[in-house]
Amino acid sequence: MVCAYVALGANLGDAAAALRRAIQELGNLPLTQVRQSSSLYRTAPLDTDSRTEASAPGSDYLNAVIELETGLTAPALLDHLQQIEQEAGRERPYRNAPRTLDLDLLLYGSACMESERLTLPHPRMMRRAFVLVPLAEIAPSLVSAAQLEAVARQRIERLEQVKLHSR
């Protein structure tokens, strides 16, 4: 079994319900258990593609991070994440488009890998408050004060004291 961390985000439809449903589905994966989840956070869209009118900044995102214990391989876990996104109506019309659900595999144990499909640790996680702040909430040893300071100017608001998932 391996400890893995997954970032969740959504800004279309009932985003909070989509995140809760995704956590439930992740807990139902074979050889996988949700160990803990962060609070829910509201964040501004980042890195939107300003070259198209359709990519004008959209609604704020709701974000969280969960810890999984899994016996799945990293590529198999990624396959399941993408399947859950598709079932939630995820479309990819352009880079960083608004979405019904986004699931990113951040960390998979101590694995370091780079392939066309999967890079671990997630290559942009250290530049995103919507990843680092919730990750620090559930796994403070994985995020340094300097890393949090580097994203301190990004707007992020904790919405719930209650976790999205409890054991």
Active site residue 60: no
| Alpha-carbon gap, residue 147 to 166, rounded angstroms | 27
Active site residue 102: yes
Active site residue 167: no
DSSP 110: T
Catalytic residue among 51, 90, 127, 155: 90
Catalytic residue among 35, 99, 127, 167: 99
Catalytic residue among 21, 104, 117, 127: 104
Give one DSSP letter per residue of 54-65, joined into a string. GGS--SPEEEEE
Residue with tokens 């408050």: 129
Active site residue 104: yes
DSSP 138: H
Catalytic residue among 102, 127, 158, 167: 102
Residues known to be catalytic: 90, 99, 102, 104
